[in-house]
Amino acid sequence: MLSHRLTLVVLLLMGHLSVQASDRPNVLLIVIDDLNNDLGAYGHNLVQSPNIDRLAASGVRYERAYSQSPMCTPSRSSFLTGLYPDQTGIIAHGSHTRLTPHFRDHIPGVTTLPQLFREQGWFSARVGKIYHQGVPSQIGTPGGDDPASWDVTVNPIGIDKLDESGIQSWNEEAMLKRSFGGTLSWQAVGRDGDHTDYHVATGAIELMQEHHPAKTGEPFFLGVGFYRPHTPFVAPQKYFDLYPLEDIKPYIMPANDRNDIPEIGLTDRKGQLGLTVAQRKVVIQAYYAAISFMDAQVGRVLDTLDELGLADSTIVVFVSDHGYELGQHDLWQKGSLFEGSARIPMIIRAPGMKAAGKTAGSPVEMVDIYRTLTDLAGIDAPDYVEGNSLRPTLDDADAVVRTSALSSILSRVKGSEGQFAFHKIRGHSIRTERYRYTEWGGGLYGAELYDHKNDPEELTNLADKTSLEGTRIQLKWMLDDRIAEASSRVRSIE
């Protein structure tokens, strides 16, 4: 213990000198699985997320940040390559294609974000889920990792995967098959130290200690991927106890909410339509328990960053791969083009920033992360990388780097024989500061227009409202331009 403390003191002193001598910041990229904006930092009055909240208090919180796809594989493939889903070739999750796709199959010569930092002299490491991994099936394995991105990878596994005997669900088929990744399911089990996400944080802590720039002479790029709150919602019982069922007030949609929504936009999952109030409370309790458990592990990583004297020389990005519905439009989980699935929490903290503790209100995209990090680190991104640097917002949270955010999904429509034809219909949606406009199959299968100034819950589809025809046309033109931009051929990739 004494030796460890002496080493820590030496590293702190050396780290301070290293920060003064080097302009190459470390990067700590924290990626969460299936996290929506139900966090204290985003104004939620029930969820306890003190560590994420304190990161927001020292960074810029993005109020209107959006994923390029409300599904894991397309989203992660997009922001880690700095390309839109149509450009990566990954427009669907594995469940839609029967195979788990990989962007290297389509653009083998692409340079990913961590790969670029690795090539530029950063030590690059991953702990947990950064690229796609099936949860819970691939916990403890590399899943769909990208070996070219990393010097070191760590694949933790814990009780949440090793002991699934107590998992509960109302989905009888899931219970019979013991398959819980795509259905509402939960379990209270073990102590913090037993769980995969605890081991993820421990792995990150050890890597920061072992690869402290003062010790190695090189900065690090560390991807830390937490698995919760992805289903099944698993956490120790004490986190469930934070949310007594009587304190949970589930969202109940208005009776006619779905009447003006195109059928293709209602991504219902089997066994999840029409849950009772009591069932909703159980689901929400478990989801929030998983968030608070994950938050505690994020706190351990941030504490270590402080203890090692690295907070002032490290860029921290906190982001989820997409949002998550908890009953809005009677939808649950992910996969829609509504605000609940497309919107994400995103926080960035960087050395020397002037807007610490501020909120950026203009739309931003996950694809902006690539150019933001290269800009802050002083390295050049490949010419083909999309997105805009968010660096201006770190000095002035009111700065506008884009006027709309684009999200898309491969949709399901029944064929002539009642079979799903997953490859036929695409949905595209843009979010401006005021409006959301969505088209299905270029509008042939329906359109949606929501005015967030007067209708933040997206309850009234205004696409057919005559008085807003001019607004709809302008948004359609904007959407067409964004689709063209996001599907343009990727050049300069060998």
**Residue 77 sits in a domain of what CATH number?**
3.40.720.10
Q: Which residues contact 356 (CB under 8 A, 6 or more apart)?
A: 57, 58, 59, 60, 349
Lowest average pLDDT, out of 3-7, 447-451, 477-481, goes to 3-7
The answer to whether position 408 is within a domain reads: no
pLDDT at 13: 47
pLDDT at 491: 72
Torsion (CA) 67, 113, 143, 107 in degrees, nearest 10 = 90
Tokens standing for residue 280: 């909703």
The answer to whether position 269 is within a domain reads: yes
Segment 210-231 mean pLDDT: 98
**Burial grade of 232 (CB within 10 A; 0-12, 13-18, 19 or more):** buried
The answer to whether position 24 is within a domain reads: yes
Pair 329, 336: CB distance under 8 Å: yes
pLDDT at 92: 84
Q: How confident is the model at residue 4 (pLDDT cuts 50, 70, 90)?
A: very low
Domain total for the chain?
Answer: 1
For residue 305, is pLDDT > 50? yes
For residue 274, is pLDDT > 90? no
Amino acid of residue 420? F
Query: In the block, which residue shows the tokens 């005997």?
Result: 165
The answer to whether position 292 is within a domain reads: yes
What does each C-alpha distance from 419 to 103, 334, 440, 442 come to in angstroms?
27, 22, 19, 22
**Calpha distance 318→55 (Å, rounded):** 9
Tokens standing for residue 15: 């780290």
**Average pLDDT for the chain:** 92
The answer to whether position 484 is within a domain reads: no
Segment 171-193 mean pLDDT: 94
The answer to whether position 424 is within a domain reads: no
pLDDT at 466: 95
Strands (E), 120-205: 123-128, 152-154, 168-169, 185-188
Q: Which helix (H) or strand (E) holds 435?
A: strand 435-440
Q: How confident is the model at residue 493 (pLDDT cuts 50, 70, 90)?
A: confident
User: Left (φ > 0), alpha (ψ -120 to 50) or beta: where does 151 sit?
Assistant: alpha
Q: How confident is the model at residue 492 (pLDDT cuts 50, 70, 90)?
A: confident
* Other C-beta atoms lying within 10 Å of the C-beta of residue 472: 18
Query: In the block, which residue shows the tokens 């120790």?
Result: 236
The answer to whether position 221 is within a domain reads: yes
Segment 251-268 mean pLDDT: 94
For residue 151, is pLDDT > 80? yes
Question: To 5 degrees, how large is the angle CA 405–CA 320–CA 86?
Answer: 50
pLDDT at 20: 33
Q: Write down the number of H helices and E strands in the chain.
A: 16, 20
Query: In the block, which residue shows the tokens 């002496």?
Result: 6
What does each C-alpha distance from 440 to 264, 412, 458, 477 come to in angstroms?
8, 10, 17, 15
Pair 494, 109: CB distance under 8 Å: yes
Segment 451-457 mean pLDDT: 98
- 319: closest CA among 13, 65, 9? 65
Q: What is the pLDDT of residues 5-53, one digit of tens each?
A: 444 444 444 444 333 335 899 999 999 999 999 999 999 999 999 999 9
Domain that includes residue 306, residue range: 2-398
**What would you measure as the largest C-alpha separation in the chain, in angstroms?**
74
Alpha-helical runs (H) found in 191-236: 196-210, 213-216
pLDDT at 97: 43
Q: What is the pLDDT of residues 392-436, one digit of tens each?
A: 999 999 999 999 999 999 987 665 555 544 446 999 999 999 999
The answer to whether position 474 is within a domain reads: no
